[in-house]
Structure 1
């Protein structure tokens, strides 16, 4: 159920705009249904061609900048026409539950992606697209589902239905119920029905049940009506409007000339309010012009007090007796929900008019640098990815930017290029289609008449989206947002600091902390590997850049990997180590980047390897280590994609364009990849040969004979332990000689590590719950051998 009066309010505005604006923009929906109905033939000999033709008029309903359901389903139909035909037959089988049909279509799309996706990251066949197919086929029964849209509709109409992220089945069923109720209500609005029918043409589906009209009303509520409501809420009530300080323009002019009332600080506040348009919050003023929020808040209150003292005005008082001093100068309102919780001031008309008549040229608009503080400039540099990209530039590399374009014309806002000085800071932004802040830079040398020179200081591991910035009211007067045409835009110190804070929230700076040293000796003391083997291991990794530590369970592969990284770095710096574990469902989207569903569509998210590569690129003089556990459990081609080439030593630093964001990307030369794989797991297929060629493989063997382990063993001083380890060594020799096993199945030393005191109970548990269960797997077809070794190992305790 929903509140009928709320829908009535919506329809008043909807009908006012229907003919003049809405119909011209939305008519294509009714035409899309008519076209589909005229062309759909599930038994067509060429199913793919028929499907493509039937969906030809859907336009942005099934295709947008980041969502391509039509292209993918038609592509699948070309590769597997009968499979896709069967999917639509099942989807259109009205004898089955609607959500079960939608879910089955989605699941089958996942299967098709694996078979025929040609490396595509996703199939785009989700509830929105599948409900569109249902609506096209049965326009008198179904609607187009969009989570964000229906959630807004339910909220605006004060509906009882709830929509929660991830509750797909409940959401679909509640959506159909809600829209059915809206559809019934629309039929009762004779004025709307007549208005709608008067606009129909022969190219439109007649929509007798008004289901498509219901879709359009829902779209209107989400796109237009709810925005108007938010805007109206933000501008409705201006506090202080019912209070009149009684000052004319002439009165304000006299006060403005009185230096005891309007001090320099007060005039700075007034000049900045006027420059901002006369309506601003303290936060907006602080970001744009400098100073703290309290400077504007307390400064305005102090000014208002001085005005009252000078004129004898009685200030505005609340019911509780407290004084609202600011109402002398301003009216005010609570900010809207998109205004970051600020309180907005507006200059009183008389004061604003008086300020227009006084000369404020000697008053500083922007806060000057403090004495002793270097007066840097701050800039927003726009990169067009079709021409150049910040990702093409290494950290520390100097890049030249011409002051004139290829036609010899001056760059827009030419003065900015002349004003930029060495040491000025730069926010590096990639324009469409990327639309993200991706780097921080610095002007390295001012212009020489032809070029301006800058260097890249840092690449962002988590870029900042344009939409995030545009939603910040503190940045609404930024030069780039006023007119984005151009390359170099000025930032105020406050704007730069505000953006920089956003960057640091997502890209924390490396913390300088005391880090313990770690040497080869430390490694050998802990890992129990011979010195010669260790030196071979380091040499192989430095030479190849990529290595896989393979061996049986218990040889300490994971334990060794992190300490190998420490020993090569010379210190225990975990900030330069990243650890992941592969599994069957791990994907390129997790590893590198991909579009992930969010409330109102999809959003490009960067994966762990992409971010780690950016961190390594930001510190080219240090070594970074990416550790992958269970590397052979993942689908290598699915996870690595184009990285299969880029991780090779000879291709380190080589740029390749990524399909998702169109940016250049390379794997830094200072990054090492360490993988681990368990050779004793019979359930796993051999590792992908394409990946095998790019890794060296190092066998991690049991370390019972290493100096480190012998020292550890002697320290425990336990005869039973000594005897048990001798028997395990004998067992390992037999495993090595077994043709069905080999040395990769030996029992590792780590089962016996990590103890300060050795007890017989602990040793018993190792034999009973670790070694014997493993042997039963090894020799499941040789009961005699298994029994013999059980007797030998248990005999140690007799």
Structure 2
């Protein structure tokens, strides 16, 4: 949602400038869409030429001094037209999630850069360029995304959609929602619609849904409207400038002492506003002292009504009901950008002076705790990573903190250490150079005169940056931000809840759901492996912690890996399984952590394995499984780094210092790693020896003779299938005896699986498009053998 009145203010200015400036400079956007629509043909014979022609009118949308997405994607299309064609087909597939499509397009661009980059350092196919392609293809649905632009728009319109650096998926989804709402509002402005339509020419896309117009309004807000005189904006007059209720200080004092006018709740609002410095947003008061924002908003309006009834004071003539009342108590203004678009109230001078002269000691400053939580406190605990770290503490482990430093002097804010009680909640913060909230803890026992005891109850997979916290006006009066010197700082319940909400946005708690049980017999029913082989597989994995399932294509390695994890967990809990596929461009920065580019620099981002290890460490009593497909396609030393030691069974739980953030890290004992590799891929059969000795290798063989497959085969009841399976088993025996191949190149059973009905057409397709192409690769230098087996397999159908 956003403030519609702010958009209306924007549109007043936009319409004044539309003909004289906007249309002449920005008309090319509508022409670019029309040109693309007229020239796009995904099935074009010369795809690269078609793509280049379709993007001819995009100009600076896809090219600038330091950004060349059009040039790079056209270059890729010339080098690999079918790969790029497939990328656009997938991107324009509306049956799938939009961010997943964009992310896949970006990932594939990295692969193309490695193959065809010709020394280029970037492919430039990021959210801005990819959203442009989507907009050109579906101009009635999508918009052009720019992080800085949409964040400015959200701030200027007072939107409650948040945009954070690095939160790509949430940013894209919030961006589409916000712009959809703006688009709906534009349609209701008949003057704007008529003005726009009066300028359209035959070369322009008619934009019936006003999506491109929405893009232009966003651009206008970011480029022009938001750049109004910053000093004037900071020093904007408080509203209303000329109105006054005409109530003197003495009259305010009488009103404050009148319990029918100023109820206890009203005095609480006044005392808290005064304590905050005389001016605040409702949200700031809510976070600092408790109660909802509406308590302060509605409470102020109803108080003002009672004052008007009591005094007969003049009222401000305004269109909105609420704005008629609060000016009796306050003056107000829209907050600056740094204040996140909130509306700030300031006590009228006479009322503020009167509050200094009345007795409010009996009025509660902070909201009383709910029943059962009266004694719970909330704290911010600093860890200096040069001395100790939350990462050194396991979940559930109790740690002590001394009340006196090494010189015997009391810790700063010593009273906080005395007040902390068992059960109090702790926000765990790592100070410079980390500067992040990294854990949640709990006071386990109050101080004994020398030490305070606490336990870590959760490590954060996605820590919260100091800069993010400091940018929240609701936290500006937090004790730590007033003076950060010290170790233990008090939090109000509202501040703790506000921070916890931020934590949960990035670290959601898994929802408890009904999970189906999964046993060994379930595994053997689905994965065609003998019981003895299964028991050996489980024993090897439990012993080594790390295993690689290797075998020929079609033996069901990937299918088996997830079910192996389920069977060991005893349930189908996918929240405890992470799946990743290695490729040539996969790096330590993707896997563990690294600095990634953001709008105005670089930011340390945590990789998938780091986050999953933290997740496993938070639940030490449960087993977690990290599955790596195509493990031998990645550069093992480059990806694993110092993890080569930490993943070993004997070093599980051992801490090592990470190069990027200087914090200690360990791989939990309850985490298993399952890799898969294809032994029939001649170019990738070797694997890093340093990694090889840290994994056990388990050969996944064709399961034609397993009870599960025989039962499945009998259920299909097809003579041609039975004969074909027998021939494939004969073929596998010959492949096994071939000195240049071996059993790792056998034909897997999974080619024949997954059917309820067996048809000859299906079996033909397996032979023609799966088995024979593979044999032609195996025996490319033995045409006679290849022809003999082609005759044998085709003969099954005669």
Deviation at 1:579, TM superposition (A): 0.1
**Which residue does the alignment assign to 2:712?**
712
Quote how far apart the aligned CAs of 1:340 are.
2.6
Query: Which whole-Å deviations, capped at 9, do the CAs of 1:582-628 have from their partners, x for residues lacking one?
Result: 00000000000000011111000000000000000000000000000
Query: Does 2:248 match 1:248?
Result: yes
Summarize the alignment of residues 82-481 of structure 1 with structure 2, pairs less than 5 Å apart: 230=230, 232-318=232-318, 324-481=324-481
For 2:672 and 2:794, locate their aligned partners in 1 and report how far apart those are by CA, in whole Å. 44
Residue 126 of structure 1, CA deviation: 9.9
User: Shift in Å at residue 99 of structure 1?
Assistant: 6.8
CA 1:320–1:550 in 2, change beyond 3 Å: closer, same or farther?
closer
How far off its partner does 1:312 sit? 1.3
Q: Give 1:682 shift.
A: 1.1
The yes-or-no answer on 1:579 pairing with 2:564 is no
Would the alpha carbon gap of residues 126 and 716 (structure 1) be closer, same or farther in structure 2, given more than 3 Å must change?
closer
> Deviation of residue 341 (structure 1)?
2.7
Paired residues of 2:421 and 2:445 also in contact (CA < 8 A): yes
Structure 2 CA distance for partners of 1:321 and 1:670, relative to 1, 3 Å: closer
Indicate the SS of the match to 2:339.
Answer: coil
Offset from partner CA, 1:64-122 (integer Å, 9 cap, x none): xxxxxxxxxxxxxxxxxxxxxxxxxxxxxxxxx99799x99xxxxxxxxxxxxxxxxxx
Q: Distance in 1 between the 2:671 and 2:151 partners? A: 46
Aligned to 1:734: 734
Distance 1:600 1:557 in 2: 43
1:610 corresponds in structure 2 to 610
Shift of 1:375: 3.6
Superposed CA deviations along residues 690-729 of structure 1, whole A, max 9, x for unmatched, are 0001000000000000000000000101110000000000
Q: CA deviation at 1:227?
A: 10
Counterpart Cα distance in 2 of 1:576 and 1:733: 39
Rounded to whole Å, the distance in 2 between the matches of 1:98 and 1:305 is 59
Post-superposition CA distance 1:10-49 (Å, at most 9, x none) = xxxxxxxxxxxxxxxxxxxxxxxxxxxxxxxxxxxxxxxx
1:188 aligns with none
Is the 1:279–1:347 contact (alpha carbons within 8 Å) kept by the matching residues of 2? yes
Name the SS of the counterpart of 2:682 in structure 1.
coil
Count of aligned residue pairs for this structure pair: 595
Q: CA deviation at 1:670?
A: 0.2
- SS of the aligned residue for 2:429 comes to strand
Which residue of 2 is the match for residue 174 of structure 1?
none
What is the CA–CA distance in structure 2 between the aligned matches of 1:552 and 1:256, rounded to whole Å? 84
Q: Which SS does the other structure have where 1:258 is aligned?
A: coil
On the 8 A contact 2:424/2:443 being kept in 1, the answer is yes
Q: Hey, what does 1:532 align to over in structure 2?
A: 532
Distance 1:403 1:714, change over 3 A: same
C-alpha contact (below 8 Å) 1:235/1:333 kept by paired residues: no
Instruction: Tell me how far apart the structure 1 counterparts of residues 543 and 227 of structure 2 sit (CA, whole Å).
Output: 59
Deviates more, 1:616-625 or 1:309-318: 309-318
Separation in 2, partners of 1:505, 1:781: 58
Aligned residue in 1 for 2:599? 599
List aligned pairs for 1:670-749, cutoff 5 A: 670-684=670-684, 686-749=686-749
C-alpha RMSD of matched pairs (Å) = 2.7
CA 607–232 in structure 1, closer or farther in 2 if over 3 Å, else same: farther
What CA distance in whole angstroms lies between the structure 1 residues aligned with 2:414 and 2:122? 48
* Structure 1 unmatched ranges of 5 or more: 1-96, 105-122, 128-146, 154-164, 167-221
CA distance in 2, matches of 1:249, 1:321: 26
The structural deviation recorded for 1:510 is 1.5
Contact 1:234/1:334 (8 A) holds in 2:
no
Number of the residue aligned with 1:633 = 633
Secondary structure at the counterpart of residue 441 of structure 2: strand
For residue 342 of structure 1, report the CA deviation from its aligned partner: 1.5
User: Does residue 784 in structure 1 map to residue 784 in structure 2?
Assistant: yes
Residue-by-residue CA offset, 1:740-764 (whole Å, 9 max, x unaligned): 0000000000000000010111000
Distance 2:320 2:483 in 1: 47
Distance 1:241 1:609, change over 3 A: same
SS of equivalent residue, structure 1 residue 440: strand
Q: Which is greater in Rg? A: 1
Contact 1:234 1:337 in 2 (8 A): no
Inter-partner Cα distance in structure 2 for 1:417 and 1:232 = 46
- What 5-or-longer segments of structure 2 have no aligned partner? 1-63, 73-118, 124-145, 153-164, 167-221
Structure 1 SS opposite 2:735: helix
Residues 549-580 of structure 1: per-residue CA shift (max 9 Å, x gap): 00000000000000000000000000000000
Aligned to 2:496: 496
**TM-aligned CA deviation for residue 230 of structure 1:** 4.5
Measure, in 2, the Cα distance between the counterparts of 1:279 and 1:645: 56
> What SS is found at the alignment partner of 1:523?
helix
What is the distance in 2 between the residues matched to 1:319 and 1:771? 77
Distance in 2 between residues matched to 1:412 and 1:718, nearest whole Å: 81
Task: Judge conservation of contact 1:272–1:289 (CA < 8 Å) in 2.
Answer: yes
Separation in 2 of the partners of 1:647 and 1:230? 54
Q: Contact between 2:318 and 2:324, CA under 8 Å: does it hold in 1?
A: yes
SS at match of 2:684: coil
Provide TM-score, normalisation by structure 1.
0.72
Q: Does the aligned pair in 2 maintain the 1:315–1:323 contact within 8 Å?
A: no
Within 1, Cα distance between the matches of 2:237 and 2:705? Answer: 82
